[in-house]
């Protein structure tokens, strides 16, 4: 049947978008926050036309923010949106601003997004998903960020400060050229910088910093970054009995983005990262596939 060859050609095409690199891409994109609105907005169906009004390079390393002429009002840090690059793909991305998304180039879709200029437009569906639980006035907040994970956390830090919480951020990246939003975090409170190669801040990982912190001093902890980082952060949280006050923003491969298709469900609870997440209470993740494996676009398990 001719259909078979068509389908397999298509599959090859998709493989390009769903290899490990692109998974990283998805991670980042999912985690990049949009200041989204209510978690169950039924009018987020059709992509909204959004024109790019500004483009800002955030770091030397292919990280960029696009600002749109539309914003998601009443959205909350942790929400995400589906960004449709017409003729290419639609990917989960967050807004690091009410009218902006920050992303890293890692696959064909983000590569195509990187080519767009002021005046070009994309389709946006959002705000989607379950956002962070905001702190209360006077609470002490610890933010733990790895790499592009800073994107959803920067607006969270700002919102926390506005509420009247005190904010401490552990901001980690591979190297100085991967660090983003250092100034935004600095304006909200203390920042402890760490880079893998020591090019800025302390040499090492966010986990090294966490090991030295007294976590009993914090009321709420928020974490976002690559899953292996999250895994080691979780170990420390368990050791220091801080799991119950922590939330993680997760990523999985998304198809529908609206909680129907099931592509992004996590074992063992079967929760949907696109709708029940991307932000989860850390306790939800302790007995799960978290840190062990994820699924590719076909639904096949891929171990870390």
Partner 1 sequence: MYQTAGVTLRNPTLLAAGILGTTGASMARMLQKGAGGVVTKSIGPVPVYGHPNPSMIALNADGGKGRVIGYLNAMGLPNPSYDDFCQEIDFVKNGTGAGAPVIASVFGAGTEDFVAVAKGLLPSRPDAFELNVSCPHAKGYGADIGSQPCQVEEVTAAVKNAVDVPVWVKLTPNVQNIKDIGKAAQAGGADAVVAINTIRGMAIDIHSGWPVLGNRSGGLSGPSIKPAAVKCVYDLYEALDIPVIGVGGISCYEDMIEMMMAGASAVQIGSAVYENENVFKDVWTGAENFMKENGYGFDELIGLAHRRK
Q: Which is nearer to partner 1, 243 or 258 (CB)?
A: 258
Give the position of tokens 């990262």. Answer: 273
Q: Which is nearer to partner 1, 125 or 159 (CB)?
A: 125
Q: Which is nearer to partner 1, 51 or 235 (CB)?
A: 51
Q: How far is the CB of 14 from partner 1 (least distance, A)?
A: 4
Q: Which is nearer to partner 1, 58 or 289 (CB)?
A: 289
Q: How far is the CB of 255 from partner 1 (least distance, A)?
A: 5
d(CA 48, CA 30) in angstroms, rounded, equals 19
Q: How far is the CB of 157 from partner 1 (least distance, A)?
A: 30
Q: Which is nearer to partner 1, 184 or 275 (CB)?
A: 275
Per the CB < 8 A criterion, the answer to whether 111 and 151 are in contact is: no
Q: How far is the CB of 49 from partner 1 (least distance, A)?
A: 4
Per the CB < 8 A criterion, the answer to whether 154 and 167 are in contact is: no
Joined tokens for residue 171? 């901001």
Q: How far is the CB of 215 from partner 1 (least distance, A)?
A: 30
Q: 162: which residues sit within 8 A by CB, 6+ positions away?
A: none
Q: Which is nearer to partner 1, 126 or 189 (CB)?
A: 126
Q: How far is the CB of 153 from partner 1 (least distance, A)?
A: 25
Q: How far is the CB of 264 from partner 1 (least distance, A)?
A: 9
Q: Which is nearer to partner 1, 107 or 201 (CB)?
A: 107
Half-sphere exposure of 86 toward its Cβ, with a 13 Å CA cutoff? 11
Whole-angstrom CA distances from 112 to 30, 84, 107, 109 are 17, 11, 9, 5
Residues near partner 1 (CB under 8 A): 1-4, 6-8, 10-11, 13-15, 17-18, 42-49, 82, 84, 86-91, 121, 123, 125, 254-263, 265-272, 295-301
């Amino acid at each position: 049947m001719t259909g078979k060859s068509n389908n397999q050609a298509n599959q090859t095409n998709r493989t390009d978008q769903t290899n490990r690199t692109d998974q990283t891409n998805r991670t980042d994109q999912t985690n990049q926050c949009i200041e989204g609105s209510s978690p169950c907005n039924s009018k987020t169906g059709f992509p909204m036309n959004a024109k790019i009004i500004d483009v800002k390079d955030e770091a030397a390393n292919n990280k960029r923010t696009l600002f749109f002429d539309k914003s998601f009002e009443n959205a909350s840090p942790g929400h995400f949106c589906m960004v449709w690059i017409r003729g290419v793909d639609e990917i989960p991305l967050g807004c690091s601003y009410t009218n902006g998304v920050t992303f890293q180039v890692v696959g064909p879709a983000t590569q195509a997004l990187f080519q767009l200029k002021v005046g070009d437009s994309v389709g946006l569906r959002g705000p989607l998903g379950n956002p962070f639980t905001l702190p209360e006035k006077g609470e002490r907040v610890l933010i733990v960020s790895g790499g592009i994970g800073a994107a959803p956390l920067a607006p969270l830090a700002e919102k926390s400060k506005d509420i009247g919480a005190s904010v401490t951020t552990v901001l980690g990246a591979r190297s100085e050229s991967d660090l983003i939003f250092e100034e935004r975090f600095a304006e909200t409170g203390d920042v402890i910088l760490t880079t893998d190669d020591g090019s800025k801040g302390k040499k090492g990982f966010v986990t090294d910093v966490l090991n030295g912190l007294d976590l009993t001093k914090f009321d709420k902890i928020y974490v976002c970054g690559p899953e292996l980082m999250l895994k080691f952060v979780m170990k420390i949280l368990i050791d220091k009995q801080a799991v119950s006050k922590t939330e993680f923003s997760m990523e999985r491969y998304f198809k529908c983005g609206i909680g129907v298709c099931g592509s992004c469900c996590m074992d063992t609870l079967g929760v949907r990262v696109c709708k029940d997440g991307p932000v989860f209470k850390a306790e939800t993740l302790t007995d799960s596939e978290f840190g062990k494996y994820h699924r590719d676009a076909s639904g096949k398990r891929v171990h870390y």
